[in-house]
Amino acid sequence: AAKIFIEADTIYLYGRGSSMPLVGLLERRLRRAGKRVVSISGLQKREAAERFLALSQNDVVFSFAFRSKESAPASLPVIFAHAKKLGAKTILVSDAFGVTFRPRPDVMLHATRGEDEEFVTIIAPMMICDAIALTMMKIDDGRSIESLRSLDELRNTFENGG
């Protein structure tokens, strides 16, 4: 997943419900690493479709589907089919182990969140997001570190008034 992020021109992050904080966390980490990110979180279907208009073969769609295939966002198969048609990569983080999603994502990562009758958390999916971002930063030949340095310089410029 980290290599796919490095190679992507744009990373599209899609999430609804309990995955929305994860989209925000990952978006911030990736932006700081110098990646172009499009967040599609909490939007209506028509608005989400508009965001995917610029999706191309050099991009990746990263999404979450929690609880079961049936409770995944209804537009997820449509989004994955659109990405596949264009040649874009797809990555899915899900807690529905053994469930087959169609069309099949290029990478599927499993994150246990607890049993249905238990209190569930987003800690495991959050660890996956952090692991992907940190791995990407470690293996991208210093691009992320350079981006963080540039961000630090820009912050200092902003704080010192120009």
Q: Is the pTM higher than 0.85?
A: yes
Q: What angle do CA 72, 103, 21 make, to 5 degrees?
A: 35
Write down the pLDDT at residue 45. Answer: 81
Would you say residue 54 has pLDDT above 80?
yes
pLDDT at 83: 97
User: Would the pLDDT of 40 be above 60?
Assistant: yes
Could you read off the pLDDT of 10-38 as tens digits, one per residue?
999 998 888 889 999 999 999 999 999 99
Q: Tell whether the model's pLDDT for residue 130 goes beyond 90.
A: yes
pLDDT, the chain, mean: 88
Q: For residues 147-153, give the mean pLDDT.
A: 95
Mean pLDDT check: name the lowest of 51-55, 59-63, 122-126, 146-150: 122-126
Structure confidence at residue 42 as a pLDDT band (50, 70, 90):
confident
Q: Which amino acid is at 42?
A: G
Burial grade of 124 (CB within 10 A; 0-12, 13-18, 19 or more): middle
Q: Between 73 and 83, whose confidence is greater?
A: 83
Do 66 and 113 meet the contact criterion of CB atoms below 8 Å apart?
Answer: yes
Q: Would you state the pLDDT for residue 98?
A: 57
20-32 helix and 143-159 helix, angle to the nearest 10 degrees: 90
Share of the chain above pLDDT 70, in %: 88
Q: What is the pLDDT of residue 146?
A: 96
